[in-house]
Structure formats: structure tokens, C-alpha cells
Structure 1
Amino acid sequence: MKAWLILADGTIFEGTSIGATGKTIGETVFTTGMTGYLETLTDPSYFGQIVTQTFPLIGNYGDIPMDYESKKCWVRGYIVRELCDLPSNFRCGGTLSDFLKNQNIVGICRIDTRALTKRLRESGVMNGMIISGVESCPAVTEALLKEIKAYRIEQAVESVQQNSVGGVTGVSPVERVATNEVGAQGESSPSKSIVLWDFGAKANIQRELEKRGCHVTVVPCTATANEILALNPDGLMLSNGPGDPADNVQIIEELKKICDAGTLPIFGICLGHQMLALARGCKTSKLKYGHRGGNHPCKDTETGRVYITSQNHGYAVENTSIPAYAKMSFFNVNDGTVEGITYTDIPAFSVQFHPEACGGPHDTNFLFDRFIELMNRSKQ
């Protein structure tokens, strides 16, 4: 069955339908990951987006539910060059094609993903529409392009009262299988109580904390500063999530209150990093085409060491907005954007990349240990 991708600039790609049939509109982005497509599809940070995989063959190890980062698929659409329908893996529970159908995700394959990626890289991310289940591509009229351009991520939220974070929180990480592993520091029972503020958290954030002997309490994005502080945690984890960080006005206000208290150790990842920065007086702005994939080099400003990181974001903290009571701890080697901030007046730090990085790389996994150390120092 044929399918078409129509970009907001009028460009048309003809291919073959995969997944569900129908029509979908979303912000069209690309990710450079060679593996980890299941983690990508189930990452709430991709909420409202049509995701293009730049690696040419996707689906070769099939559908493996144990690798999901949340309970469902969050993308609006999916684009691949070639979809493998004969996967080979001892954990395989089905094909990626069946997974997309079961999740009602409209997708397209057998298009020139290299040409699409180059267009998005040069023009910047733009909205797109995938259409399948019809005999021919509809005429690209001004009305159709207006419909595509008018789409906003918030339209993917069922309730008009919510923004993109509200559309995913409380769903992604609440049902976890507790790990039986002994923590990295040798604990056989929980030694730290962590509140994970869920803005669309990936499951592996909680797993990494539990591996280190932490007891994790997940609270939704609607939680208040008083509710979080009343739990008397040893530390606060700010999760990843979708959308424009500046849209989350109420969360940022509550986060300001926690920062003003100045006693609770904080670790922020991705969207959590951005909202912590906004709460501390920084500014954020949208990148031309974002950072998505598992091969982004980031440099530690203290040691000079470069780490390869996993990333998924379309916004970044502006370099010139970092206040005097904070310092940039990591920067992106490719474009110089802020990748990490350490605050000197409160026990808090954050990173733009994903140290939990499921399915990899794991170069910056040590940041969870740094969070444990920060909590230990804070108690002393």
C-alpha cells in the first residue's frame, strides 16, 4: 500500500505504508541512532513528533517489550528507509510492523531518508503529514499546507487543559518492576529516598537510581513544592519530557520554591535540566533541528574529557544567560551549546543529554553516582 509524506514546505515523498493506515500530522524530526528504536518509540520526549530514523535498516531485532521506556508509543508518525519484517533475536516477541499497528502509529518506509534528513537539517525541523490508505496523494493545496503548518504539539493532548508534559506525565514511569540487583555502592536495601518528578520520565532513570540502592517515589508534573518537600526526600530527580520548557510555567514556579529553600539536592536531565535553568534565571531557545541520537560528543569543562552521549531535545539553554552563581559543566563539541550546568549556591546540577541512555552509550552513567555523592555531602 502506498503512502506519502508531505512537508510544510510542499515537498512530497512517496513510499510504502507501515503500521496503521490513515493520516497523521506532527513535527518532523530525525534521530541518528543505529539501535534503540524501541526506546525511541516509547520515549515520552518524542510526544507529538514524526520521527525519522537516519539509519537505513530498522526492525532487525523485532519487538522486545522489556526494552520499552514507557508503557506505550508516543510518536505521531514513523519514517524509515527499510523496515525489517524478519527479525532475529532470542528476546524477540514480534515484528516492529505489528508493534506499530498495535499502537496505531501511521508510518512510511522506502523513501529517501537521507534526502529528507538533509532538508530538515538545512531548513530546520518542520511539520509534516503522513497519509496512507488512499489510492493517490491528495493535491497539495494552500489549504492542506495551512493545515500542516498550523499543527502544534499540544494538539496531540486529549485535554485542552494540558500542555505536552501534561499529556504524558503519570503514564510513562508509574508501573515499574523493581530491580533485585544489589546497588552499585553495595547496598542491599534502600539507602536514599528519591523523588522522581515525572515530566515524561524514561524507565531507565528509575532503574539506575534503584541499582544504587535508592527508593524512588514518582510524583506527577502537577505536584507542588510543598508536596514534594513533605515527602522529606534525600534528593529530587527532574526527568526528561517533551515540548517547549518555557510552556511549563506552573512547574517552574514550584521548582523556584524548592531552589529557594536551598537544601534539597537536585539532579535534572533533559527537560528537567532546561526547567531548572529557567527557574534559576536562564533563558531557553529552540534549536534549528535539535539533537537526537546516540552519537553526540560533549566536553567536560573541568577535565577536558569528551563523552559520547545520547540526546533527544529540540530546545537548549542559552549560553549567555547562565548566571554568576552557576557554571557550564558540559558543552556540545559540534555546536557549542550548553550540555550541563552546576549551581554553586545550591546543591544542584543538570545535564542536557541522557546519562541513563538506554540503549546506549553509557559513557556518562557516572553522573548518577555523582548525585549519590551530592546527597551524601549535603547530609554531612
Structure 2
Amino acid sequence: MQRTPATLVLENGSVYRGTAFGHIGEAAGEVVFNTSHTGYQEILTDPSYAGQMVVMTYPLIGNYGITPNDNESSKIWASAFIVREASNIYSNHEASGSLDDALKNAGVMGLAGIDTRKLVREIRQMGAMRGVISTVDQDEASLKAKALSIPEMSGQDLAGTVTTEKNYTLETPGARYHVAAFDYGIKTNILRLLQNAGCRVTVLRAKATTEEVLALNPDGVFLSNGPGDPAAVEYAIRTIRELAEYSRTSRPLPIFGICLGHQLLSLALGATTYKLKFGHHGSNHPVKNMQSKRIEITSQNHGFAVSMDSLPDTVEMTHLNLYDQTVEGIRHSELPCFSVQYHPEAAPGPHDSHYLFDEFTAMMDRAKN
């Protein structure tokens, strides 16, 4: 592994010096941390990380390599990857290459050898900050100026930058349902679990219209995860509001949202969102199901949340984050709409919340009768 000096400078002027791996050059983005012990490949290829540099809190990363079946999309979306130690060797019978090679091939920078504990503490205290990593510019003042020039995450519509270019359909043998799935940055395992639940899935561009959805005559609508500020995705909010109203005026059309999809559904139903200080990123977050009273250990990746105080009387909070008491799930009292902030598809993460896909198919069954 090549050892090239690299420097990370945050927008507040903090400096972290280490060595580069993967691509050599310069990278910029919002710096966030993830508390998962494993799953770095799924994290890197999650489109929800577009525009962000990911710090792993677990100290040794890369020791099981890269495996062909673990990608959550067709490319690495994180703008950079920051670790304490990047393993020089990997051991896994399914691995096809190293983390270093994967980053090189994708043109994505990695930074190793810094005190990630200190960096994570700083992010927790100060909040997620913009930063620049460079091997070509070692001037701290220059790098700070570059960091300050990066657009802030608030106000950015990134769903339109990660969505599919063309609509497409995933056929499922013996499918009982047809689901129209909006791709705001959809993960592969979400599509896999929808298919496992008996759904034929038509994946739609983020800007697909209400008319396009209704022309498919679907049994249900799925709203995917994705990056950026949900309030900035105004076209999606408008379309979701129209689809929810269709359930009121025409026929029941179940809607299920995950992560950004949860935030967009909440906005469409009349709630508001806000930016979290440093977000929720990891596979070990406890969430309380307010109906069953059971605690689910969940996988999370989001920098914005739905304001609890803004929920309309017709919208019930169904799940609660036990770390900071934020909204983790909602359900409409009159319309067949529900969503969760966390990732029940668990890629990476625990499987506690797979039942939500069954709830979606049960809602579609009721809508048919």
C-alpha cells in the first residue's frame, strides 16, 4: 500500500495529518462518522453518503477485503474514507480484491493513520463539518479556505444526482404485488427484500410524476433512502402529497418510506424537518416500537430528522430513537402511509426490522380487498 502524506483540514481549522490510500489527490465533503464494526463496503456504496467523507470509529478497516455481492449500488458514493488503520492484507474466501484497490479503481481517496477518536469527539462536540483531504496541497490556510467554499448540506437536493437515469423493472417470479419504487438513492438490498416479499418492482427516477406512477397501476409505492436535505427535494414532496391524496379521493394506494423517503413522506403530510448536529450513522442504534413496546437494534444513516412537534394530528409517531428521542417512524391515521427513519433492510446491520416489509405487503393486501 502506497504511503503518501495526506492532510485533512476541517472548516474550523482543525488539522489531521496521516497517509493516503486508494486514490491520490484531493477530496472534499461533509465529514461524518459511522459506528459500525463491519460493512464498510456497503457503507461506501450507499448513495446516501454522496457528498460526505466517512470516518469509521472501529480502528481496523479493510481486513476482509471487497466482495462482489456486497455492493449497495454500482459505485462508491462517499467522497472519501477515513480510518485509523487500513489493513494491508485481507482474508475472506469471497473477496475479489482489497479496499485499497477498490478505492483506487473508483478514484476515491482514503486517509489512514490519524487519531479517529479525536476526530469523532470533535464532530460530536462541534457538529458535522466540511473538510478537505489533500496530498497535493499541504497548506493549512489554503485547505481551510477550500473547506469553507464547499456548499453546506442544508439546502442541497442530492437525490437528483444519484437517481437512476431511466426507469426500469425488476421481474419477480410469482410476484403478487407490483410496487413503484422511487429511486432517491435506493440500496440494492432494499430491492432484494421487496422482491423477496413477492413484489415486482418498477424503479422510477426521482423526478417521476404522479401521472407516471398511476399509469403503472401499482399495488403500492415505495420511497427510498437518499442523500441531502429532504426539504430541498420539492418535486418529490409535491408528488408524494398528490399520491397520498389519491388514496383519499380514488383508491387506497399504500406508501412505504425509508430514511429520506420517511422524511419526504413526513413533509408531504405536513411535518417539518431539521438538520441533526452530527447525524445518526451506524448499525447499533436502539429504537423503541411504540406499538409493540419492543426495542429494535437498527442500522441508520441520516443527517436530518422529522420534527416531533410538527407532526399533524393525523400522523402518529410509531418509533422513537432511544439515544436522542428523535422520531424514527410515522403512520397516517386515515391514509395507508407509513415510514421509518432507519434502515430495516440491514445492509449492513441487524435484521430486527425486516417485519416492516411484511407490513407493507399486508397493507397492499388490505388495499386490494
Common topology (TM > 0.5): yes
Pairing 1:72-83 to 2, within 5 Å after superposition: 72-83=75-86
Q: SS at 2:160's partner residue? A: coil
Pairing 1:237-256 to 2, within 5 Å after superposition: 237-256=222-241
Alignment counterpart, residue 55 of structure 2, candidates 49, 52, 64:
52
Assess if the C-alpha contact under 8 Å between 2:42 and 2:348 holds in 1. Answer: yes
- Give the Cα separation in 2 of the matches to 1:69 and 1:264: 28
Alignment counterpart, residue 222 of structure 1, candidates 197, 202, 207:
207
Matched, 1:149 2:173: no
Alignment counterpart, residue 92 of structure 1, candidates 90, 95, 103:
95
Pairing 1:68-217 to 2, within 5 Å after superposition: 68-133=71-136, 137-138=138-139, 140-141=140-141, 144-152=143-151, 163-170=157-164, 189-217=174-202
Assess if the C-alpha contact under 8 Å between 1:85 and 1:96 holds in 2. Answer: no
Give 1:171 deviation, angstroms: 6.0
Partner of 1:323: 312
Q: List per-residue Cα deviations over 1:59-91 (Å, max 9, x = no partner).
A: 111011210000000011110111112100010
- Give the Cα separation in 2 of the matches to 1:211 and 1:119: 42
Q: SS at 2:283's partner residue? A: strand
Q: Which has the larger displacement, 113-122 or 352-361?
A: 352-361
Q: Which has the larger displacement, 277-286 or 355-364?
A: 355-364
Assess if the C-alpha contact under 8 Å between 2:130 and 2:152 holds in 1. Answer: no
Give 1:212 deviation, angstroms: 1.5
Give 1:214 deviation, angstroms: 1.0
- Give the Cα separation in 2 of the matches to 1:192 and 1:313: 29
Assess if the C-alpha contact under 8 Å between 1:59 and 1:83 holds in 2. Answer: yes
- Give the Cα separation in 2 of the matches to 1:225 and 1:54: 42
Pairing 1:11-26 to 2, within 5 Å after superposition: 11-26=14-29
Partner of 1:354: 343
Partner of 1:62: 65
**RMSD across aligned C-alpha pairs, in angstroms?**
1.8
Amino acid at match of 2:146: E
- Give the Cα separation in 2 of the matches to 1:39 and 1:241: 14
CA change 1:173–1:43 in 2 (3 A) is farther
Amino acid at match of 2:145: K
Give 1:153 deviation, angstroms: 6.3
Alignment counterpart, residue 31 of structure 1, candidates 6, 13, 34:
34
Q: TM-score w.r.t. structure 1 length?
A: 0.92
Q: SS at 2:54's partner residue? A: strand
Give 1:204 deviation, angstroms: 0.7
Amino acid at match of 1:82: E
- Give the Cα separation in 2 of the matches to 1:205 and 1:119: 33
Q: List per-residue Cα deviations over 1:307-338 (Å, max 9, x = no partner).
A: 00000000000010111111000010010000
Alignment counterpart, residue 287 of structure 2, candidates 268, 292, 298:
298
Partner of 1:158: none
Partner of 1:157: none
Give 1:175 deviation, angstroms: 9.1
Alignment counterpart, residue 312 of structure 1, candidates 289, 301, 307:
301
Q: List per-residue Cα deviations over 1:140-180 (Å, max 9, x = no partner).
A: 22x642331221268xxxxxxx931111000699697x77x
Partner of 1:274: 263
Q: SS at 1:100's partner residue? A: helix
Q: SS at 1:261's partner residue? A: helix
CA change 1:21–1:172 in 2 (3 A) is farther
CA change 1:301–1:268 in 2 (3 A) is same
- Give the Cα separation in 1 of the matches to 2:160 and 2:255: 22
CA change 1:27–1:171 in 2 (3 A) is farther
Matched, 1:343 2:328: no
Q: SS at 1:167's partner residue? A: helix
- Give the Cα separation in 1 of the matches to 2:166 and 2:110: 22
Assess if the C-alpha contact under 8 Å between 1:76 and 1:105 holds in 2. Answer: yes
CA change 1:144–1:99 in 2 (3 A) is closer
Aligned residues: 361
Assess if the C-alpha contact under 8 Å between 1:127 and 1:148 holds in 2. Answer: yes
Amino acid at match of 1:94: G
Give 1:42 deviation, angstroms: 0.3
Partner of 1:185: none
Q: List per-residue Cα deviations over 1:264-307 (Å, max 9, x = no partner).
A: 10000000000000001000000000000000000011121110
Amino acid at match of 1:287: L
CA change 1:30–1:190 in 2 (3 A) is same
**Gap regions ≥5 residues in structure 2:** none
CA change 1:78–1:171 in 2 (3 A) is farther
Assess if the C-alpha contact under 8 Å between 2:166 and 2:204 holds in 1. Answer: no
